[in-house]
Structure 1
Amino acid sequence: MRFLFRPPAAEATGLLALPWNEPLEQWDPDLLLEVPQRGISRHVVRFVASGSHVFALKEINERLARHEYALLSQFEEEGLPTVSVLGICVDRPAAQEAILVTRYLEYSMSYRWLFSSPRAGHSAEQLLDTMVELLVRLHLAGVFWGDCSLSNTLFRPDAGALAAYLVDAETVERHRSLSPGQRAYDVDLARERVGAELLDLRFGGLLPEGIDPIEVAEGLPPRYAALWDEVTHEQVFGVEEQQWRLTERLRRLNDLGFDVGEVELITSAEGARLRVETRVAEPGQHRRELLRLTGLEVQERQARRLLNDIVAFRAHLEQKTGRPVAESLAAQRWLAEVYQPVVEAIPRELAGRLAPAEVFHEVLEHRWFLSEKARRDVGTAEAARSYFATVLPQTPAEVTTPSVRAGLSPDA
């Protein structure tokens, strides 16, 4: 057998003792982890732990495994929203298929789990918007999916919203740019697959009442067209408007979660023409700013929510002291006095059910709810205690036992 792993290679050393010479279906259950939020796969997929990391193992044709390994490696380096690949195992005995190893996407959920879990509370419209955003991001990067569906997508909570990630790249093709025909094919295929998947949920009794699978699926192409136009259209305006129009366009793209590359502004007597190169590399504007101020690495919407809380905390400090407070000082005090106490108060048995930044966001939401009900500000500490007692326990554990036996840390 041959193993090929990407850096850091240390992650792979604990996996080498696994029975790679045996079919995945025959592996001892004691070596495996149960992931309740996983979706349905047409391949044999198993989950294992090594140290504090969890990995997904997928048995597929060697040609497809090498293709997917190369593409996912490239996508990760570019910061595209896809799962992270660790390596492949090929030349297995008895002409067995290869095994592709990817890092488990922490706090991720399948669309089936989102609809079947009473805790999730995400609508079909929200799921569709998230998927459309993923498709636009991939198309901007010249990625032709060729198998766009809810089943091939994972979703992560992001400050009350969702972030989508490509999880299956077997059919993916990479080009310098996509033609309108290629994009239209991907969108039409997504429409068909989403409709079929939602109908499947309806037949299984998992789709909430009032959701029409066909109507939802038919809404995908216009949503895609609107977002694609928003991030790629060329603007024409008067020369005297160019400064604020440019600022407005860049801010709008950042608010949508896209980065900006080269900006081309052509002026003439008739007016100004603005072309903006839209890019999708992460982290986004708010993630970078939060990382600079606090050292926290979170998702984009989470970063925006945390930055807003820092602004409010800074205003509180200035009102309390009667003098200006530097942004960096306010951020560090917020980290030590507001954020970390909440994260450190998460009960051990509930640790790892949501990302710490998502827990903090939900505590803020819970504080608002409690304050509205009590008609007073209940405070973050009181809101956190209530949240840990009544809300967070409803979120299932991300990876179930035998995680401890496999060496998985509580917050992995």
Structure 2
Amino acid sequence: MRFLFRPPADEATALLTLPWEQPLEEWDPDLLLHVPQRGISRHVVRFVAAEGSVFALKEIAEPLARKEYALLGEFAEEGLPAVSVLGICVDRPGGQEALLVTRYLEYSMSYRHLFSSPRSQHSTSQLLDTMVVLLVRLHLAGVFWGDCSLSNTLFRPDADGLTAYLVDAETVERRPVLSAGMRRHDVDLARERVGAELLDLQFGELLSPDVDPITVADALPGRYEALWDAVTREEVFRRDEQRYRVAERLAWINELGFDAGEVELVHTPEGARLRVQTRVAEPGQHRRELFRLTGLEVQENQARRLLNDLRSYRAWLEQEGGRPVPETVAGHRWMAEVYLPVVQAVPRHLAGRLAPAQLFHEVLEHRWFLSEQAGRDVGTTAALESYLSSELPRLPADMTTPAVLAGGADGAPDR
């Protein structure tokens, strides 16, 4: 047998004691983890834990395993939203298929989990928009998925929204630029698969009665084209408008959740023609800003929400003190006096159900809800007590970190 893996090496070496020579279906259940609501796969997939982390193992033909290993490695280097690959095991005894090893995407959920959870607040429309954003990002990077579906996508909560990640890259083709025909074909395949999966949810009584699977699926191409046009179209305007029109377009691209790369402005007899090279990496403006001020690494929408709270806190500090407060000082005080007291207040038996930043966001939302009911600001302390007693216990315990799944958590949130 041969192993091929990416750094860090300690993760791979921790897995070397597993029985790689045996068919995955025959592995001792004591070596495996049960990861609930993980969706449907056409291959044998199992989960294992090592060194406090969780990994997914998929049995697949060696050429496909090598292809997927290489592609997922490229995606990671380019910042594309996909699961992270660790390695592959090939040349297994008896002509067995290869094993592809990927890292468990913590706090992620399958679409079945989203619809089966009684607490889920995400609509079918929101799920579809999240998938469309993922597909546009991939197409901008020259990635033809070929099997875009709900089953091949994982969803991670991000403040009030979701972020989608590609899970399966077996059918992916990579080109410098995708033709319009290839993009349309990929979108058509997605529409067919999503429609079938929503019909399956409807059959299992997991879909709201007012949702028509075919109507929802048929709306996917239109949503895709609208977003594609918004981030790629050329604009022509008068030369005296160019300063504010360029700024307006870049702000709009950021608002849609993308980053702008190279900007080309060409002066023609018709006016100034603007082309923007849209970056396909996960947006990072708010994430970078929050990390600079606090050291927290979170999702983009979570970062936007936390930054708003930090700025509000800074304004309060300045009002109370009667003098300006540097943003770095406000960031350190907000972490110590606002953020950490909230995430550290989670009882041990409830720890790990939400990412700390997501939990803080939900406490803020709960505070707003309670304040609306009371007709006054109830404060974070009261909102936190109410949230921990009434809302967090309702969240299924299977939305956990890899360490919790592996039984290695001490109950303390990440910080």
TM-score category, normalised to shorter length: over 0.9
Quote the offset at 1:401 in angstroms: 12
**2:126: which partner in 1?**
126
Displaced runs of 4 or more, over 3 A: 398-407
Q: Secondary structure at the match of 1:89?
A: strand
**2:140: which partner in 1?**
140
Contact 1:79 1:283 (8 Å CA) reproduced:
no
Distance 1:404 1:229 in 2: 42
Structure 1 residues 89 and 335: alpha-carbon distance in aligned structure 2, compared to 1, 3 A threshold: same
**2:218: which partner in 1?**
218
CA deviation vs aligned residue, 1:116-166 (integer Å, no higher than 9, x gap): 111112111000000000000000000000101111000000001110000
- Percent of residue pairs bearing the same amino acid type: 73
Contact 1:235 1:274 (8 Å CA) reproduced:
yes
Where in structure 1 are there 5+ consecutive unaligned residues? none
Residue identity in the other structure for 1:112: R
Structure 1 residues 352 and 38: alpha-carbon distance in aligned structure 2, compared to 1, 3 A threshold: same
Distance 1:134 1:370 in 2: 35
Q: Judge which range, 128-137 or 346-355, deviates more.
A: 346-355
CA deviation vs aligned residue, 1:190-248 (integer Å, no higher than 9, x gap): 00000000001111111111000000000000000000000000111111111111111
Alignment of 1:280-295 (within 5 A): 280-295=280-295
Quote the offset at 1:71 in angstroms: 0.2
**2:303: which partner in 1?**
303
Quote the offset at 1:66 in angstroms: 0.5
**1:65: which partner in 2?**
65
**2:76: which partner in 1?**
76
Contact 2:352 2:400 (8 Å CA) reproduced:
no
Alignment of 1:45-194 (within 5 A): 45-194=45-194
Structure 1 residues 406 and 310: alpha-carbon distance in aligned structure 2, compared to 1, 3 A threshold: closer
Distance 1:287 1:173 in 2: 30
Quote the offset at 1:403 in angstroms: 7.0
Distance 2:180 2:110 in 1: 29
Q: Secondary structure at the match of 1:40?
A: coil
Distance 2:178 2:19 in 1: 42
Residue identity in the other structure for 2:247: T
Quote the offset at 1:10 in angstroms: 0.7
Contact 1:38 1:109 (8 Å CA) reproduced:
yes
Structure 1 residues 367 and 249: alpha-carbon distance in aligned structure 2, compared to 1, 3 A threshold: same
Q: Secondary structure at the match of 1:3?
A: strand
Q: Secondary structure at the match of 1:81?
A: coil
**1:272: which partner in 2?**
272
Alignment of 1:381-396 (within 5 A): 381-396=381-396
Quote the offset at 1:402 in angstroms: 12
Distance 1:284 1:39 in 2: 29
Q: Secondary structure at the match of 1:184?
A: helix
Structure 1 residues 254 and 400: alpha-carbon distance in aligned structure 2, compared to 1, 3 A threshold: closer
Structure 1 residues 142 and 373: alpha-carbon distance in aligned structure 2, compared to 1, 3 A threshold: same
Quote the offset at 1:267 in angstroms: 2.3
Alignment of 1:224-373 (within 5 A): 224-268=224-268, 270-373=270-373
Distance 2:184 2:270 in 1: 34
Quote the offset at 1:405 in angstroms: 9.5
Distance 1:9 1:407 in 2: 22
Distance 1:195 1:115 in 2: 15
CA deviation vs aligned residue, 1:246-266 (integer Å, no higher than 9, x gap): 111111111111111110111
Distance 1:390 1:345 in 2: 14
**1:209: which partner in 2?**
209
Q: Judge which range, 143-152 or 24-33, deviates more.
A: 24-33
Distance 1:399 1:222 in 2: 33
Residue identity in the other structure for 2:284: G
TM-score by length of 2: 0.96
Q: Secondary structure at the match of 1:207?
A: coil
Distance 1:217 1:172 in 2: 22
Distance 1:263 1:149 in 2: 33
Residue identity in the other structure for 1:303: A
Distance 2:41 2:78 in 1: 26
Distance 2:329 2:12 in 1: 40
Quote the offset at 1:102 in angstroms: 0.3
Q: Secondary structure at the match of 2:162?
A: strand
Alignment of 1:189-200 (within 5 A): 189-200=189-200
Contact 1:35 1:399 (8 Å CA) reproduced:
no
Quote the offset at 1:397 in angstroms: 2.0
Q: Secondary structure at the match of 2:80?
A: coil
Structure 1 residues 399 and 120: alpha-carbon distance in aligned structure 2, compared to 1, 3 A threshold: closer
Distance 1:299 1:392 in 2: 20
Contact 2:53 2:402 (8 Å CA) reproduced:
no
TM-score by length of 1: 0.97
Quote the offset at 1:51 in angstroms: 1.8
Alignment of 1:24-63 (within 5 A): 24-63=24-63
Distance 1:267 1:72 in 2: 40
Contact 1:33 1:400 (8 Å CA) reproduced:
no
Quote the offset at 1:269 in angstroms: 5.0
Contact 2:54 2:403 (8 Å CA) reproduced:
no
Distance 1:21 1:41 in 2: 22
Contact 1:33 1:402 (8 Å CA) reproduced:
no
